[in-house]
Amino acid sequence: MSRIRRKIIVMSGKGGVGKSTVAVNLAAALTLAGKRVGLLDADIHGPSIPTMLGLEREAPQSHDGDIVPVEVGDLKVLSLGFFLPSPDDAVIWRGPMKMTVIRQFLRDAAWGDLDFLIIDSPPGTGDEPLSVCQLIGKLDGAVIVTTPQKVAAVDVRKSVNFCRQLQVPVLGIVENMSGFACPRCGEITHVLRSGGGRSIAETMRIPFLGAIPMDPAIADACDDGRVFLHHYATSPTAKIMRDVIAPIVRLDGDHPNAQADASAVAATASTMSTTSTKPTSTNARENPTKENNHMKIAIPLADGRLAMHFGHCERFALIDVDTASKTITGRTDIEAPPHQPGLLPPWLAERGATVILAGGMGQRARSLFAEQGIEVVVGAAADAPEKLVAAYLAGTLQTGDNVCDH
């Protein structure tokens, strides 16, 4: 644990409020900000993290007597679900056995050097969260998730008081399922009463991190084993979720790049979108050209079409766009510079690029572009630049998998 800079537990007073969804997307947002992140599923009786990340068939390895967490991208994951012969098997254990397993996950796992360890705790204030808080030594904070109705929000008080008794700082409350987000227009309709989480936060004098609406895409992402923030990054709900998570990223305040990391979450998240919605800039301060209705979109080329291997393309097409009229106003083709790690982000930034459409790009490269205030959309097809840009402006750009995620 001494090799992990920050340790955060995600809790809830009741089950079924979307706590694991928040934990998974918090961990994903931190990796997109360039952090080294681990995700521990401490829910012994209902380990859902493997399903939500599409890792049901994975199994941790052992090295020198240590458990090696399963890795998905740059995220290290550990869950009791990896060790069950069948996902249908019930774990019928009393407290001492659960504490022993959590101790092993903390002490005997080869987490390595991490910036953050996110711990997904089961609902309530029982054995598992108590074991984590007692065994881990020092927690940097807790995020408490609730739904808006009173019957769920009341239990938030128990979680807050649990943290206070164990001297765990409460980083804030997240109100999940706060209204229904229409998948067509994005308008939020309040099906249940709203404001329960905010009211409790104000009463107990703790931060209110924000309200996340019910969105069918979140359920689809969880069922399909995909991270919502990665695959629906340009949706209005994803922007809300990034705003909720941003204060947690800023928690790493003693890191020399903390401020840049906080602003990079929104910019970098758009790189793994698989929706057809037009990306929304969350970095206008670093992209002043977007404020005067001008945007320059860069597209790597091979044989006049989008090159699927970004780092080794022949040329770049720089497409000038009027964002007010959603029209293309010009195009300039330039030779790509010699291949050199880290060169392309500042090189394209100097030429005014504010968005990149790519077939695929590694996460390190995406982080470097985010530092330059450049949005990246991956999964685009090998098509003509003008056709891709026109679809992007119309909000109909179809994107698939990141074909170069290394």
pLDDT digits (tens, 9 = 90+) for 227-274: 888 888 878 888 888 888 888 877 765 443 444 444 444 444 443 333
Q: How far apart are CA 313 and CA 323, in angstroms?
A: 27
The CB density around residue 55, as the number of other CB atoms within 10 Å, is 18
State the total domains in the chain: 2
Would you place residue 45 in the very low, low, confident or very high pLDDT band (cuts 50, 70, 90)?
confident
- For the ranges 115-119, 370-374, 385-389, the lowest mean pLDDT is seen at 370-374
Nearest Cα neighbor of 232 from 179, 283, 183, 178 is 183
Q: Where among 233, 266, 299 does a domain terminate? A: 266
* Cβ(373)–Cβ(287) below 8 Å: yes
Whether 328 and 200 share a structural domain: no
* CA R_g for the chain: 22
Residue 292 lies in a domain: yes
pLDDT exceeds cutoff 80 at 197: yes
What CATH number is attached to the domain comprising 106?
Answer: 3.40.50.300
Helices 258-269 and 236-249: crossing angle, nearest 10°? 160
Answer yes or no: do 101 and 167 share one domain: yes
Cβ-proximal residues to 303 (8 Å cutoff; 6+ apart), any chain: none
User: Rounded CA gap, 262 and 275, in Å?
Assistant: 24
Do 296 and 211 belong to one domain?
no
398: left (phi over 0), alpha (psi -120 to 50) or beta: beta
166 shares a domain with 56: yes
State the residue for tokens 């170069």. Answer: 404
Q: At 9, which amino acid appears?
A: I
Residue with tokens 């995620």: 405
300 and 153 in a common domain: no
* 292 and 334 both lie in a single domain: yes
The model's confidence at residue 289, banded by pLDDT at 50, 70 and 90, is very low
Quick one: which of 93, 74, 91, 73 has its CA closest to 82? 91
Q: Is residue 272 part of a domain?
A: no
- 78, β-bridge pairs: 40
Quick check: is 280 in a domain? no
| Average pLDDT of the segment spanning 175-190 | 79
What's the rounded Cα separation, in Å, for the pair 299 and 353?
A: 10
Q: Which domain holds residue 307?
A: 288-394
Q: Are residues 313 and 236 in the same domain?
A: no
> Residue 199: pLDDT band by 50, 70, 90 thresholds?
confident
Q: Nearest 5°: phi and psi at 12?
A: -155, 150
In a domain, 83, yes or no: yes
Residue that finishes a domain, picked among 218, 236, 266:
266
Say yes or no to pLDDT of 283 above 80: no
Q: Are residues 47 and 136 in the same domain?
A: yes
Q: Are residues 257 and 388 in the same domain?
A: no
Asked if residue 222 is part of any domain, the answer here is yes
Question: Using an 8 Å Cβ cutoff, are 17 and 147 in contact?
Answer: yes
Domain end position, chosen among 236, 266, 296? 266
How large is the angle between the packed helices 258-269 and 363-371, nearest 10 degrees? Answer: 110
Q: Examine the pLDDT at 10 and tell me if it is beyond 50.
A: yes
